[in-house]
Every structure is written in C-alpha cells, then in structure tokens.
Amino acid sequence: MARIIGVANQKGGVGKTTTAINLAASFAVLEFKTLLVDADPQANSTTGVGFDLHNVTHSLYDCMVNDSLGRDVILKTEIPNLNLIPSHIDLVGAEIEMINYPNRETVLKNILEPLRNDYDFIVIDCSPSLGLITVNALTAADSVIVPVQCEFFALEGLGKLLNTIKIVQSRLNMELEIEGILMTMYDGRLRLCNQVVSEVRR
C-alpha cells in the first residue's frame, strides 16, 4: 500500500516542484512503483517530466470536478516505474467549482485511495497556496515535506503553513505527519543561509 507524501509551501520559487519531481524520480530509480500527482495549476511537474501541456487531454481537474477516475488520467513517463496524474491550467477554477461540494476537502483523498494498492509511493506536488486544493492534498497525505528556501524572507508564511497543517491534523487528517522541513538552495559558505537554518531548527 502506497505511502502518500505531499510537498507543500504556499510561497513560490522555493524548490517545491523540483523537490517533488526529484523525490518521485528517486523512488522510481530505486524500483519503487511511484505516482507523481501534479496538484499545481501551473503544471510544472507535468512539463518537468516531459509532457507538452497541449497534448494533455485529461488531468487532475477532470478527477476533482468531472468525476473521472484517477486511473483513467494516469500517464506513463519515460522514467521506468514513474507514472503521472497531470495538471492543467483549468485546475485554477476547481476551487470555485468545488465550493458547494459536500466533503469538498476529501475529494483528492477519494481519488487516490483506490490507487494505493497499485503503488509504493504517491508524491503530491501541492499548489503554491493555502487554498482548497492544498487542503485536499494535506487531507489525502500520510506526511508532508515543506521546502524552505535559504533566504531572508524564508520564514515569512511558514507559520501560516504550519498552522494550516495543524488545522488539517485536528479536523481532517489526524494521521498527517510533518516529514521534515527541507532547506533548499543552501550554501554553507553564506552566513544568511546558516542563520535561516538555525531559525528553522528553533
């Protein structure tokens, strides 16, 4: 049964998608059956593993809004053992379309649960926001990795994300664990980087 890992930070440009792709690809290279779920409307994970968005006819949007089955939108990547549920710009509108759904926070969980037995790992590249799509990802996940860039404003917004995770843990997914804070773009020669790491550890 797959372990579902979310990669989340509402701040853009912190290496979230790079982390998600490399984590999923690493699992695949180690011969674990892996599914990468692109839950970011920018669809950078989709293009990052080699797909042209013009050729993506069905995506996570269709699962979340049009009731398509997860397995019906899965694409095989060129990396052995790595499959993808692609994203699309249409996902931007999904939060509005889902606003009146009963149990709207568990839509993604219901999509992924039937796929757990097909994979060893499912990695979710979360949307760079704290909206409904990200809440869905956190509700579906067993654990979450939070990439944080080593720069001056790195901790800005981290508290909000951690608070959102606590809310999800208390109301929607009591089993959700924080896998860790991943420092990205780290250069040990720079004092600022080391200061940021010290602050995060505190």
For residue range 92-116, list pLDDT tens digits in order: 989 899 988 999 999 999 999 999 9
Of 65-69, 163-167, 169-173, 179-183, which gets the smallest average pLDDT? 179-183
Residue burial 164-202, b: 16+ Cβ < 10 Å; e: rest: bbeebeeebbeebeebebbbbeeeeeeeebeebbeebee
Confidence of residue 130 (pLDDT cuts 50, 70, 90): confident
pLDDT of 150 over the 70 cut? no
CA 101 – CA 65 distance, rounded (Å): 10
Nearest 5°: phi and psi at 121? -140, 140
pLDDT (tens digit per residue) in 46-100: 999 999 999 999 999 999 999 899 999 999 999 999 999 999 999 998 989 998 8
CA 47 – CA 127 distance, rounded (Å): 15
Residues 6+ apart with CB under 8 A from 116: 1, 2, 4, 122
Confidence of residue 200 (pLDDT cuts 50, 70, 90): low
**What residue spans define the domains of the chain?**
3-201
CA 107 – CA 158 distance, rounded (Å): 25
pLDDT of residue 183: 74
3.40.50.300, 2.40.30.10, 3.30.470.10, 3.40.50.2000: CATH of 3-201: 3.40.50.300
Strand partners, 36: 84, 123
Tokens of 133: 């799509």
